[in-house]
Structure 1
Amino acid sequence: MTVHGILVDIPTADGTADAYLTHPDDDRPHPGVLLYQDGFGVRPHLKAMADRIAEAGYTVLVPNVYYRSGRVPLIELPELIDVDQCDEIFATIGPLLVAATVPDVVLRDAEAYLAWFADSPLVTDGPIGVTGYCLGAYLSLRTAIGHPDRVAAAACFHGGRLVSDRPDSPHLEAGRITAELYFGHADQDPSMTSEQIAELDEALTAAGVRFRSEVYEGATHGFTQADTSRYDAVGDARHWTALLDLLKRALPA
């Protein structure tokens, strides 16, 4: 299926978020999918991932969640990001990442993205799907919690700190979720330990949430990102199968 990608601006309560939009090139509305970036931000690789989802029959929006600090590209990234050799990059994006995870900020921005979907002639009426990576996994879960009436499915891949000892930890609000969830955890990820995964699973089960939680053996944090040194082709292929299966169940294209 041929897809068409453009840049769009999304009005928010705090300004204007630039975003990448891609959809089947057939002049018809399709179910919406919100794709949340990882820590490195919106870049060609993430746009290619969005295009792949669009090819399956969806209208996909990839917002720049760092928009308060500027439009994409905020920082210059190498063609292949060596995660173990990019201290300068982390020094720049670290504060942006922290600011982007404040629960009230996530909620306000999600409201703006969902409003855009509701108003777009490219999107069918009804709930949407959400997927996210690293930072985006946290945002995906937060969006499902904050907008249970608008999110039918949410996927979270190599997410970090989905469980913490903070009073606003996402797992404590599992009872608000109505979406079907999927989690693809990396088994070599210190930001989401086996103990945290178990605690998240217990909270979701107790809340009656429909979910599937899988640990990808041999995978490290960031295993889906082909433009980084953490990429794992086997784990990435498995992630695509899980994500598209979830979307097909919850939001038939």
Structure 2
Amino acid sequence: MPDKMMHIPTADGQADAFAAFPDDGVRHPGVLMYADGFGIRPALRELARELAGHGYYVLVPNLFYRHGPAPVIELPEYIGEDARPAVFAQLMPLIEAHTAERVLSDADAYLEFLTTRPEVAAGPVAVTGYCIGGLLAMRTAAAHPGRVAAVAGFHGPVGADGPEALHRLLSTLTAEVHLGHAATDMTPEALVELDQALDAAGVDHTSEIYPGTAHGFTMSDTDAFDPAGLRRHWDRLLPLLDRTLAGR
């Protein structure tokens, strides 16, 4: 599976990015993949390559490129409980500086870059994201109705900004949505409220708590990793992409 590092022109410079795609001379649907806060690293490259192997061009931008190329901070090979405090002490200022304005400006650049790649098929794309990337995926899809056919977020803080912000976010969303929540992130009561908001906005969606999972369950280099949760993630993501991007 070919992969390469790319540079995406943005309003604030250039974002480095990882791309994985089939090497078969055929144009494939594009998927913009937002990393979790830990960023581009072997575990994310593994996810991107796996998805690309199912027939997609997958682009993973460095969210915090304004602070340097990936890896923006030094990460241990395994991000366990003991390492988390020091890692988050470095990450939180970067996350806090990544304002909604920056998110949307970057999303414009990422989608423009992705959809003009010669290896990417014409038409709508999909956006997926993990942790904070799940929220960024939803914001990107909402800002580009008609251009994004599917959006998926896993263990992401989709309703973190409150009910009013969630209502605004959903009001322009036209993509089909799947949200896979960690059991430690979402109560059944909160899930009902989120589903009601999605229904009220007319969003075609599935939204579920993945049993027994902790925040970060898709990430193989963390102590939250759950193999069953990762399999469930693929069982939901791949049919979503097949339904919305099939035939391109």
Shift of 1:83: 3.8
CA distance in 2, matches of 1:205, 1:21: 34
CA distance in 1, matches of 2:81, 2:222: 7
Task: Out of 77-86 and 171-180, give the one that drifted further.
Answer: 77-86
Contact 1:184 1:215 in 2 (8 A): yes
Shift of 1:84: 5.0
Shift of 1:181: 0.1
Question: Could you tell me the TM-score, scaled by structure 1's length?
Answer: 0.93
Contact 1:216 1:235 in 2 (8 A): yes
Tell me the alpha carbon deviations over residues 38-89 of structure 1, each in whole angstroms, 9 at most, x when there is no partner.
0111101101100011000000000000001000111221111104542111
Query: Helix, strand or coil: the match of 1:218?
Result: coil
Shift of 1:125: 0.6
- The correspondence of residues 149-164 of structure 1 with structure 2, limited to 5 A, is 149-164=146-161
Q: Which residue of 172, 176, 180 corresponds with 1:176?
A: 172
Aligned length, in residue pairs:
247
- One-letter amino acid matched to 1:89: V
Q: Which residue of 220, 223, 232 corresponds with 1:229?
A: 223
Q: Which residue of 66, 72, 86 corresponds with 2:64?
A: 66
Query: Helix, strand or coil: the match of 1:219?
Result: coil
Tell me the alpha carbon deviations over residues 216-236 of structure 1, each in whole angstroms, 9 at most, x when there is no partner.
111110001011000011111
Question: Could you tell me the TM-score, scaled by structure 2's length?
Answer: 0.95
CA distance in 2, matches of 1:181, 1:10: 26
- The correspondence of residues 128-139 of structure 1 with structure 2, limited to 5 A, is 128-139=125-136
Query: What is the percent sequence identity of the aligned residues?
Result: 49
Cα distance change, pair 91–207 in 1 and its aligned pair in 2 (3 A): same
CA distance in 2, matches of 1:161, 1:149: 20
1:148 corresponds to which residue? 145
CA distance in 1, matches of 2:8, 2:134: 21
Query: Helix, strand or coil: the match of 2:146?
Result: coil
Tell me the alpha carbon deviations over residues 110-155 of structure 1, each in whole angstroms, 9 at most, x when there is no partner.
1001111222111111110111000110001111111112100000
Cα distance change, pair 119–48 in 1 and its aligned pair in 2 (3 A): same
CA distance in 2, matches of 1:205, 1:180: 12
2:207 corresponds to which residue? 213
Contact 2:138 2:153 in 1 (8 A): yes
1:96 corresponds to which residue? 94
Query: Helix, strand or coil: the match of 1:188?
Result: coil
- One-letter amino acid matched to 1:178: T
Task: Out of 152-161 and 56-65, give the one that drifted further.
Answer: 152-161
CA distance in 2, matches of 1:133, 1:64: 13
In angstroms, what is the RMSD of aligned CA positions? 1.5
Contact 1:163 1:196 in 2 (8 A): no
Identify unmatched segments of 5+ residues in structure 1: none
